[in-house]
Amino acid sequence: LVPSLRHRRSLGEPRALFALPSAQGSLPAPRWPVECEVIKETIEHIEWVPPEPEPFCQPTGHEWAPAPLGKEQGTVIYHLSPAPQGSCFTRARVGGAPGPLSSPAAPLEGPQDTTLLFESRFESGNLQKAVKVGPYEYVLTLRPDLYTTKHTQWFYFRVQNTRRDPLYCFTIANLAKPKSLYSDGMRPLFYSQQDAQSHGIGWRRVGTNIRYYRGGGGEEPTAFCLSWTMRFPHDGDTCFFAHSYPYTYSDLQRYLRAVAGDPVRSQYCMVRALCRSLAGNTVYLLTITSPAGTAAKRAVVLSARAHPGESGSSWAMQGFLDFLLSTHADARLLRRLFVFKVVPMLNPDGVVVGNSRCSLVGRDPNRAYGTALCGSFPGVWHLRAMVERVLAEREVVLYCDFHGHSRKNNVFMYGCDGGRAGAELRLHQRVFPLMLSKNAPDKFSFPSCKFKVQKSKAGTGRVVMWRMGVSNSYTMEAAFGGSTLGGRSSHFTVEDLKSLGYHLCDTLLDFCDPDPTKFQQCLSEVDALLRQRLGRELGSGGSWSDVSPSELES
């Protein structure tokens, strides 16, 4: 630990009350609600970047859609008991439900039985039911966020007993959102254990005949369906499917243990517990800065994973931490200039149980910043309280909350234009995203950025932090799909997502450069772009403060 920071309570440091990842020994095991069964196997995947870009699936116009299913069709081969209607979280324990595990999968009838074996009772897993409707055709149902009946989007499950020759068809039949990047060529992610062990190949995009469409029957006629076909690469393989690259609570703890055990990085990165979640999982807070001159430094606050199904935000956060904790000259400069307060996983309970959006109170944490009760949303409440303490003693130059987006490709930001600020301030709020688009032109889309503060977003982190006095307050959205910029039309890799963290660091240095040339150039460009968007000149004597945010967003 940095000696000069050890006793500085004025920096808003929580005391080290809870178990933290240490360099030795086992990691604190995730705590699960007692309704959740958890298999004993540890699920880990290798990290890998495909050697070639993975293009979006090009629709042919002849995609085949499975016929709608009645309630009695097919054979149920995997079924987890849903949480009772109207139930709520009561208690948690390591390992989830006590006692022996049930057998949700139908047993195979012998070596000739080609039925796939499904499993999702592991960290971040989500699959509630699988129905076999043909020799190699399966209809799948996702589990809603715990203690709710909705928010079906994230999926992550294992299949075994594969055959390499047949064409398999999978349909997820209860997705919640009317629009999805699967309609624009996004493919599901696939992982083969044999390929990982024999060839070092990790998660990759698969699928042909990809269709996203409104369901026409079955148990949930108002839901949406995702269908795809594929061939497995091996007989008898253990494979996984996922909506986005998984990043579990245990993945974060492994990463933080490596940082804490590193004699160099631990000198300027302090790992503390911000609080405990409802289930008793630690919400971590990292304070990153060089020891000297702390009192004069401005602060930067970053958070990720309020929404557990947006796992790409964790990869972007890891990329940010990789760079900021490195020996690179720019990283050293950033640590000299700023105090970084980082909450890398705001909603660990949701991540552990495989939710898409909610915490264990069954509500969206990123709508609770304005009203959050400590007992219901401890991560949100303690983050806000920490920012209040930091603001009392120093300027917070940037707040950025990392998220994932399911309907628009590329990376973009939501900022805060309340329409009541002076013209200068309204333009300033657009400078950081414009700079980021210049530093990451093949990923970041400035035209996709929005700055209007909608009433429905009043409880989000970015809006509440902005109202607290953080002028540059943003949500950064990274698409589940990929990039359509700079000649690309391909999926994001883990490396793409991690590079966002580096680009954010690079942009922060440009934004805060004592030489104002870049800032002024971007300010002029923002002014010109807004005039172009407005389609008219400002009235005589008029200024940007006379134009409504709605008019600028149109």
HEC states along 171-237?
Answer: EEEEECCCCCHHHHCCCCEEEEHHHHHHHCCCCEECCEEEEEEECCCCCCCCCEEEEEEECCCCCCC
Q: What is the pLDDT of residues 309-322, one digit of tens each?
A: 999 999 999 999 99
> Does pLDDT of 9 surpass 50?
no
Domain count, the chain: 2
Instruction: Calculate mean pLDDT across residues 38-46.
Output: 96
> Does pLDDT of 539 surpass 80?
no
Q: Could you tell me if 180 and 72 lie in one domain?
A: yes
Q: Residue 420 sits in a domain of what CATH number?
A: 3.40.630.10
Q: Could you tell me if 270 and 322 lie in one domain?
A: yes
Burial 256-286 (b: 16+ CB within 10 A, else e): bbebbeeeebbebbbbbbbbbbbbbbbbbbb
Q: Could you tell me if 414 and 277 lie in one domain?
A: yes
DSSP output for 263-295: TTGGGTEEEEEEEE-TTS-EEEEEEE--STTGG
Of 2-16, 211-225, 400-414, 427-441, least confident by mean pLDDT is 2-16
Q: Could you tell me if 192 and 287 lie in one domain?
A: no
State whether residue 46 is helix, strand or coil: coil
Does some domain include residue 523? no
Q: Residue 188 sits in a domain of what CATH number?
A: 2.60.40.3120
Q: What is the per-residue pLDDT for 16?
A: 45
Does some domain include residue 325? yes
Q: What is the per-residue pLDDT for 352?
A: 98
Strand partners, 287: 270, 341
Q: Could you tell me if 253 and 195 lie in one domain?
A: no
- Which of these, 476, 456, 473, 454, lies nearest to 465 by C-alpha position? 473
Q: Could you tell me if 467 and 323 lie in one domain?
A: yes
**Residue 483, H or E segment:** strand 482-483
CB 140 within 8 A of CB 345: no
Does some domain include residue 459? yes
The pTM of this model reads: 0.93
> Does pLDDT of 123 surpass 80?
yes
What proportion of the chain, given as a percentage, has pLDDT over 90?
77
Domain containing residue 214: 55-243
Q: What is the pLDDT of residues 296-308, one digit of tens each?
A: 899 999 999 999 9
CB 192 within 8 A of CB 201: yes
Does some domain include residue 10? no
Q: What is the pLDDT of residues 155-208, one digit of tens each?
A: 999 999 999 999 999 999 999 999 999 999 999 999 999 999 999 999 999 999
Does some domain include residue 79? yes
Q: Between vectors from CA 442 to CA 439 and to CA 446, what angle results, nearest 5°?
A: 65
Q: What is the per-residue pLDDT for 459?
A: 86
Q: How confident is residue 84, by pLDDT bands cut at 50, 70 and 90? A: confident
Burial 124-163 (b: 16+ CB within 10 A, else e): bbbbbbbbbbeebbbbbbbbbbbbbeebbbbbbbbbebbb
Instruction: Calculate mean pLDDT across residues 203-221.
Output: 84
Q: Which of 243, 275, 299 finishes a domain?
A: 243
Q: Could you tell me if 432 and 283 lie in one domain?
A: yes
Q: What is the per-residue pLDDT for 73?
A: 84
Q: Which of 13, 54, 477, 525 is catalytic?
A: 477
Instruction: Calculate mean pLDDT across residues 379-390.
Output: 96
> Does pLDDT of 1 surpass 60?
no
As given in the structure block, the two tokens for residue 436 are 């980021």
How far is residue 54's CA from residue 514's CA, in Å, rounded to a whole number? 40
Computed over every residue of the chain, the mean pLDDT equals: 90
Q: What is the per-residue pLDDT for 83?
A: 76
CB 187 within 8 A of CB 482: no
Q: Between vectors from CA 167 to CA 162 and to CA 168, what angle results, nearest 5°?
A: 60
Does some domain include residue 294? yes
Q: What is the per-residue pLDDT for 17?
A: 40
How far is residue 342's CA from residue 317's CA, in Å, rounded to a whole number? 9
Residue with tokens 């680009």, as numbered in its chain: 503
Strand partners, 170: 138, 228
Q: How confident is residue 553, by pLDDT bands cut at 50, 70 and 90? A: low
Q: What is the pLDDT of residues 412-449, one digit of tens each?
A: 999 998 766 566 677 899 999 999 999 999 999 999 99
- Which of these, 311, 345, 377, lies nearest to 154 by C-alpha position? 311
Instruction: Calculate mean pLDDT across residues 491-497.
Output: 98
Instruction: Calculate mean pLDDT across residues 41-48.
Output: 96
Q: How confident is residue 7, by pLDDT bands cut at 50, 70 and 90? A: very low
Long-range contacts of 18-24, Cβ-Cβ distance < 8 Å, separation of 24 or more? 18/273, 18/276, 18/282, 19/282, 20/256, 20/260, 20/271, 20/272, 20/273, 20/282, 20/284, 21/253, 21/254, 21/256, 21/257, 21/260, 21/271, 22/257, 22/260, 22/261, 23/257, 23/260, 23/261, 24/261
Q: What is the per-residue pLDDT for 403?
A: 98
3-state secondary structure 457-473: HCCCHHHHHHHCCCCCE
Q: Could you tell me if 302 and 186 lie in one domain?
A: no
φ and ψ of 468, to 5 deg: -75, -10
Does some domain include residue 214? yes
- Which of these, 258, 241, 162, lies nearest to 204 by C-alpha position? 241
Does some domain include residue 14? no
Q: What is the per-residue pLDDT for 22?
A: 61
**Residue 314, H or E segment:** helix 312-324
Q: What is the per-residue pLDDT for 346?
A: 98
CB atoms within 10 A of CB 392: 9
Q: Could you tell me if 135 and 231 lie in one domain?
A: yes
Q: Could you tell me if 341 and 453 lie in one domain?
A: yes
Q: Any idea what DSSP says for residue 361?
A: T
**477 is annotated as an active-site residue:** yes
Q: What is the per-residue pLDDT for 423?
A: 62
> Does pLDDT of 350 surpass 80?
yes
Q: What is the pLDDT of residues 91-114, one digit of tens each?
A: 999 999 998 999 988 899 999 999
Q: Which residues, including other chains, have CB under 8 Å from residue 208's CB and lie 6 or more apart?
A: 57, 228, 229, 230
Q: How confident is residue 66, by pLDDT bands cut at 50, 70 and 90? A: low
As given in the structure block, the two tokens for residue 280 are 């008793």
φ and ψ of 335, to 5 deg: -70, -30
Residue 348 CB burial class (10 angstroms; 0-12, 13-18, ≥19): buried
Q: Could you tell me if 270 and 202 lie in one domain?
A: no
